[in-house]
Structure formats: structure tokens, C-alpha cells
Structure 1
């Protein structure tokens, strides 16, 4: 009887251990499933699908909407590429590629790199230079000879091999911003990012909250913030774009990327709508 009692006790302990292990595994699985569900619930919109530019519109200075001058914007090997191999030289034809929809409150995540040589005759400031033009005017409202859409530009820059050259700066074609409570009328304000040399991929993100606070991130680190993006009343397109209610604060708009004379690759352009 004593032997049977010991066997029974041993079996009971073993069953409890197995049950505990199974319970722990179940909890772990539940946590994994919860994390996966959270990731799924973050419904990132792939603005660039890796296959074509069907959801985008092209506009070049001096050309009608829809004309992809010299086949500059293209999709190759799953990348959205800005290329100048079919150009003889730069002639001031700034290009912009507009996504089809407008957005207000969102996070925009982009992976980019600069490659190859700048097209002959390209402006010095445009070396390894591109940009995310946000809260921009609709492509259809741009004039034929207009260089840049009125927008807030999140500027992408690569190093020149010599000087420090931050990326994720802010520039303001036809607009102004408020920084630390002060309305700034400077065209570009630099961020606190490091310089990225060579052809490496860089991951950046912008958190846009309508006409309120905007935040810039490089490789997960915040590098600048500002607020109240607004139309600049000194700009030639101010009256044309000012809404009927006279509110010059920009609370939504288009998203576009640039072609400013230096070859650029994009392998991800994705957006997550956030609560207002």
C-alpha cells in the first residue's frame, strides 16, 4: 500500500508539472497571437505596391499632368526609382510623383537611398536631394510652369563626403511653420539627424497630426518637431489656394516625392492613418 501511495503521489506531481508547462505554453502562444493581432490592426497602407505606379500621378515643370518626362519615374526590381539615364542634361524640369489620395492625420514611413551620379548640369543644392512633399496642393491645381507644389517638404539629403548634411529637414515651398512658438519664414530648417553617406538604405518616418504637431524620425530617433503648417501669404499661389473660409492652416493634402536631378530609390512608402 505504501508503494502504491508513493507511485500515486509521483504520478500526481508529474501531471501537475505537465499541466503547468502546457499552461505556460498556452499563455506564450496567446501573447504571440495578441502581438500579431496588434500588428495586423495597424493597417499600414502600401502607397507603393512594388509593381507599378497606377496609383500615382506625374507632374514635371513645363509639361502637362501625366507626362513622365524622359521616363524619370519608373518601377524596376520592385523599387520605385528616380532615374536620369535618358536625360542629356538638366534643364530645370523639376518632377513630382503624387499619390492619388489626400490625408490628414497619419504616420508615413519611407525607406530610401541615393545612388549613382547627379545628371549633368543639376543644381549643386540638389546633389543627393529628394523630398516628401506633404499636405500639398492637388496635382491638378499645379500650373504648367510651376516648379514645386505648395506643400511642406520633409527634405531627404545624403552626405557629400565632406560636410555634415542632416536628413529629414523641413523646407517650405509656399508655406510656413511654427517652431518653438515662433512663425518661421526661412525656407529650410535643419534637423538633428546624423549625416548618411554612400548608397545605404535609410528608414525615416513622419508623424503628421493635421494642422497641429508634426514630428520627424530617422531610424527610430526623433530629430525635429514643429506645428501649424500654413500657407505663406507672400507666395504667388496664396490667393489661389486659400480656402473660402480664409483659414490658411493646412490640415490635410497630397503626398508626393521628387525628381530634382539626383537618382533615388524607394523600396517602401507606407502610411498608417491615426486618430484625429
Structure 2
């Protein structure tokens, strides 16, 4: 059953010190985001058909766009799997698998689990570490030697052998900045409030993305992080085309990409609910869960 934004955001709003304009934006979003009636079913889109990745594009560091080096991203058992069994050495071959359609306002959900091996010749921070990038630049604009796409990441982590807390559903920002608790946060990654999950356990991750305004991370049905105004800036991404990195430019839309950075992981049940469409109740194209009006979608 769909949970309205009022329910999902209460724990986050209660603990955040957001600026007045952000609070106003929240209020507008909450009152415009209503649960669908029984007659208006949510029209979720399956981004992954369980059979192939024909609607996806690979970009791996050191390789041209479209080159799925060593079959890094593969489909088996109705899952997208990240594997390294055909690698000779890792050599910073950070990879991303992009869905071919960009989105702006949407609700994304998927399941992931860490499994298999971790490449010990990858950086230590990549152990039991992966994620999903969003509001990403088009992979076709990435240079061959660009390591990370200019994007925002919902980072996935699992607990390590040391037993220390390691939350998942965090935010990382390659080539970007965000507003967190009312200010531009200089940290590359901001931890969520989620609990720690072990390797081999399936975890449900959700994103509610409202263009260049609010972003909410949800883990196993619980909101764990919220921030706003994703924009180009910051560091970490390297060897990009300078014409693409326009610091300060708000990110209103972009591509969604699954990550490969040295740890084997499985993804399944990748679905998206587009929240942008016709908001005219008189139109047959109207859906009560839309939060962004697109006049061109009205029939």
C-alpha cells in the first residue's frame, strides 16, 4: 500500500533545522501528494524486465560508453548481477549501468543484496559498498577516463566483520552538493539513520525525488535521510568534460544508474512511479499522485 509523503517525512521533518523556504516547499509537496483512490492504480514502470539490459547503457572507467568490460553487469535468475570473475585486475574500473530514460519527479524502489566476493585490489572503502546514482549526467557525455559520473548517490552498505554500525541509504555526492539541515554540507557522504544490515540479506531501498527540491531516502519502509537542492559542485569526480561541470547549477533531472565499484552485488525488482504528469482533474491522463504538472501529458 502506498504511503503518502506526510507519513514518510514526519520523522525527518521533526529533527531537521530547515530554512523557511525549504519548509514552505515541504508543505506544498505534502498537500499535493495524495494517495491514489481505488479506481486510480499507481502506474509503476519496471525498469528491469528480468531478462536483459537492452534498455540500459554501461559506462566503465577506462572504457568507452557501451563497453560492458568482462561482462561486469549481467542478467541471471531475474536479477542484475555485478560480477568480477572475468577480471584480471580491478585497476579502478568503477562502473555504472544507466537506464536509458532520464527522470525528474519520481519514486524509485528496488531490492539489493551484497553477495559473492570483494576485489581486494579495489580501494578498502569499496568492501560491501555499492549504490544507485540519480540525477546523473548522460553517460554519453562522460569521457573515457572519467571515474565517477556527476550525480547524486544513494549509497548502499552492509556491516563489516568489526561489528561497528554501518548504516545504509546514505548520500554521497560525486561532483555535486546538497543542502542538508538548511546549509550546503561540505561532506562527500552524509550518513542516514538506518540500522546496519548484513551481507546476503535482501534490503528494499526507495528514493522519492522531487526534481531540484526535496530528496527522501527510505530503507525497508522507513525514511532515513532527507535533503534538498541537489546541484553541481564539490569534488571526487575526476577527468570530466569542464563544459559539463557547471558548479551551482541545480539538478532538476537526470539518469538513474546502478553502481559497480569492486564489490559483487545483486539487484532486482527495480520499479519507478513517475510523479510528473497531467494534474488537471478533468483530463483522462490525470493521476492523483502526480506532484509536478506537465501540460503536454493532458489528453
Q: Normalising to structure 2: TM-score of the pair?
A: 0.76
Q: CA RMSD in A?
A: 1.7
Distance 1:238 1:178 in 2: 25
Aligned twin of 2:265: 264
Matched, 1:207 2:208: yes
Aligned twin of 1:240: 243
8 Å Cα contact 1:70/1:86 also seen in 2: yes
Matched, 1:101 2:101: yes
Aligned twin of 1:224: 225
8 Å Cα contact 1:48/1:268 also seen in 2: yes
8 Å Cα contact 1:137/1:253 also seen in 2: yes
Aligned twin of 1:78: 78
Aligned twin of 2:256: 255
Distance 1:231 1:102 in 2: 17
1:224-276, CA deviations, whole angstroms, 9 ceiling, x for partnerless residues? 10000001066765851257xx9601000011011101110011111101121
Superposition deviation, residue 120 in structure 1: 3.3
8 Å Cα contact 1:62/1:93 also seen in 2: yes
Aligned twin of 1:172: 173
Superposition deviation, residue 122 in structure 1: 1.7
8 Å Cα contact 2:174/2:234 also seen in 1: no
1:64-119, CA deviations, whole angstroms, 9 ceiling, x for partnerless residues? 11111111100001111001111133211111101000000000001000002202
Gapped runs of 5+ residues in structure 1?
1-33
8 Å Cα contact 1:89/1:120 also seen in 2: no
Aligned twin of 1:145: 145
SS in 1 for 2:204: strand
8 Å Cα contact 1:174/1:231 also seen in 2: yes
Aligned twin of 1:24: none
More deviation, 201-210/117-126: 117-126
**The structure with more helix, counted as a fraction of residues:** 1
Q: Normalising to structure 1: TM-score of the pair?
A: 0.82
Distance 2:117 2:72 in 1: 14
Aligned twin of 1:15: none
8 Å Cα contact 1:165/1:194 also seen in 2: yes
Greater gyration radius: 1
Q: 1:94 to 1:233 in 2, by over 3 A?
A: closer
Q: Matched residue pairs, number?
A: 238
8 Å Cα contact 1:115/1:265 also seen in 2: yes
